[in-house]
Amino acid sequence: MDYRKIKDQDIDVEAAAKDDVEESYPFVPSASSSIGEPKIDINRIKPQWKRKSLVTFALTILTSSQAILIVWSKRAGKYDYSVTTANFLVETLKCAISIIALASAWRTEGVTEQNKLTASLKEVIVYPIPAALYLFKNLLQYYIFAYVDAPGYQILKNLNIITTGVLYRIILKKKLSEIQWAAFVLLTAGCTTAQLNSNSDHVLQTPVQGWVMAIVMALLSGFAGVYTEAIIKKRPSQNINVQNFWLYVFGMGFNAVAILVQDFDAVVNKGFFHGYSFITFLMIFNHALSGIAVSMVMKYADNIVKVYSTSVAMLLTAVVSVFLFGFHLSLAFFLGTIVVSVSIYLHSAGKMQR
């Protein structure tokens, strides 16, 4: 795919942001108002505020509980279930949700060129690459917990902001503002500060293996995200659920191959759902719904909501881990979390100035 051509098809973010602002602050003319002085329509603001609050709450809970549920699903430090089958079920659930959303669109709009599932080989062939990248990233997400705890994972996963920004600059030739580059430096400093360990001979709580896996996950997530956005922007009028459907179908296929390669004997001898618990199923639903929640944020809220949700989720994960896993909430972790939160905010503010 020619990424430079795709760059010319970028959506006007500033115009979209302006529309969001106008939609968020509706005004109606009033006879008692002076000319040019609009009156706020309270009846429209209240439902929008409730919707934004609900979406923010849902994203915060899903984000903070993601790492907790993965760690909680382990027994005696290992997974009793097959992580490849869990990943397969996540992709299957996402695919089912996309089909349900499309079925709703078909009932209201009918089958159109934008929401039909049939596609040519040229249109579909672009999806295996991001699906494969997400496969490896999601599998690493389980194994990284051998080296890092849930709060540390929430901190380190923000490294994907750096990789995504750099890949945007390299692949899509998007210019980054000075504030965004400064945010990258702060983010790196915050992640390092949060991992400082004064009670051990090791300077950092997370060993080198954990940092390497976190960086690899960030690279995989960043490249998959950039590639997926390039696909979406190539056909901006196409229903997002159609694009998600094909992405998840290939995700199911790759995860099925992973089951055959890695866990075939265990699945045949012990069963597909061997070792599953209530927490395991909760984790699967959490992973599937997290992607839906992010889509809802983009549609019904804004990037600031995502920033605040991520920041609160880091602290919430740490607090819950204190009670569930005996996590020690150190001053270094608290300060590092604040620095990471500030860097995420600056990165978002840099986008608005760009």
Q: What is the pLDDT of residues 303-323, one digit of tens each?
A: 445 655 666 777 777 778 778
| Top-confidence residue, 200 or 173 | 173
Confidence (pLDDT) at 47 = 59
* DSSP per-residue letters across 164-198: HHHHHHHHS-PPPPHHHHHHHHHHHHHHHHHTB-T
CB 273 within 8 Å of CB 314? no
| Top-confidence residue, 164 or 41 | 164
Confidence (pLDDT) at 255 = 95
Provide the angle, in degrees to the nearest 10, between the axes of the packed helices 278-300 and 303-325. 160
| Top-confidence residue, 176 or 241 | 241
pLDDT band at 297, cuts 50/70/90?
A: low
- Residues 40 and 193: their CA atoms lie apart, in Å, by 45
Angstrom CA distances, 109 to 104, 112, 116, 169, 235, stand at 9, 8, 11, 38, 19
Percent of the chain at pLDDT exceeding 90: 19
Reported as a single tens digit per residue, the pLDDT across 29-80 is 444 444 444 454 555 555 566 666 677 788 788 888 888 899 889 887 789 9
pLDDT over threshold 80, residue 125? yes
pLDDT over threshold 70, residue 324? yes
Confirm whether pTM is higher than 0.75. no
- Residues 236 and 238: their CA atoms lie apart, in Å, by 6
Question: Which of 14-23, 104-113, 199-208, 313-322 has the weakest average pLDDT?
Answer: 14-23
